[in-house]
Amino acid sequence: MTTQQPENAAPASRKVVLVTGASSGIGAAVAARLVTEGHQVVAGARRTDRLQALAQHTAEAAGRSGGGLQPVRLDVTDRADVAAFVQAARDRHGRVDVLISNAGVMPLSRLDSLLVDEWDRMIDVNVRGLLHGIAAALPVFTAQGSGHFVTLASVGAHEVVPTGAVYCATKYAAWAITEGLRQESDPSIRVTTISPGVVTSELADTITDAGAADAMRTYRAHAIGPDAIAGAVSYALAQPPDVDVNEIVVRPTRQR
């Protein structure tokens, strides 16, 4: 009996990788690197013009490697949107091998600034967005008997700094949810948390509080490029199935 494969099914040596927040910074670098390594990347974010540009930018590498990048509009705060993101990838490629939950926002401020809407947004994107991804992909990974969750947490998942109470709380939560997922998961499912230090990206652009923005200019003065994080993701994905890289912290040598 032959099983009909979807037209774009990737060979088993190449993975079907979903990346949330792929329109800039770390997500874009991860997506681009994985395309050069021959993976089929489904890149999600709200700014689809950026995703289209990334698809064009990686087209030549995709031609060489046999990989590919498919842009998909995605809002991780919308549970149905995330479910559709995962389902569309499964329909197109026949399986989903990796979900990289990278989408995040960081509008830092002191608690007494009372920027409650920004607190809510961080919880919605950084925590609920992560949970929506797990809810969508876990049944798929369980049915397949394989899968890999990768969460982009932060050094802020390990320490709290002034103006970072809510952001760090969301990253502590991301760390805890991902560690709980690892402990509960069947051994056929791998779980990785990657915690970057200061990385060049658009992350600090979401800060509206003048004091926090000022402090960040000094804090973020010595950043490393997002390729450093893409390398860590690539390493975790490339391990054999019985090797589960659980946690990687990557920060600039000058960040103490």
Binding site for ligand NDP (CB under 6 A): 20-27, 45-47, 50, 74-77, 102-106, 125, 152, 154, 196, 198-199, 201-203
For the CA atoms of 62, 67, 70, 76, the dihedral, rounded to the nearest 10 degrees, stands at: -120
Nearest residue (CB) to ligand NDP, 18 versus 22: 22
**Is the CB of residue 154 less than 8 Å from the CB of residue 196?**
yes
Contacts with 27 (C-beta within 8 Å, 6 or more apart), sequence order: 19, 20, 21, 43, 45, 100, 102, 103, 152
Is 167 catalytic? The answer is yes
**Is the CB of residue 40 less than 8 Å from the CB of residue 15?**
yes
Write the DSSP symbol of residue 20: E
CA distance 183 to 190: 10
Write the DSSP symbol of residue 3: P
Cα torsion 250, 252, 254, 256: sign: negative
CB of 29 to ligand NDP, least distance (A): 8
80 vs 58, 72, 153, CA distance in Å?
28, 14, 23
CB of 203 to ligand NDP, least distance (A): 4
Catalytic-labelled residue, pool 167, 172, 219, 235: 167
Tokens of 121: 């947004």
CB of 169 to ligand NDP, least distance (A): 12
**Is the CB of residue 25 less than 8 Å from the CB of residue 202?**
yes
Nearest residue (CB) to ligand NDP, 10 versus 173: 173
CB of 93 to ligand NDP, least distance (A): 20
Nearest residue (CB) to ligand NDP, 152 versus 173: 152
Which residues belong to the active site? Answer: 167
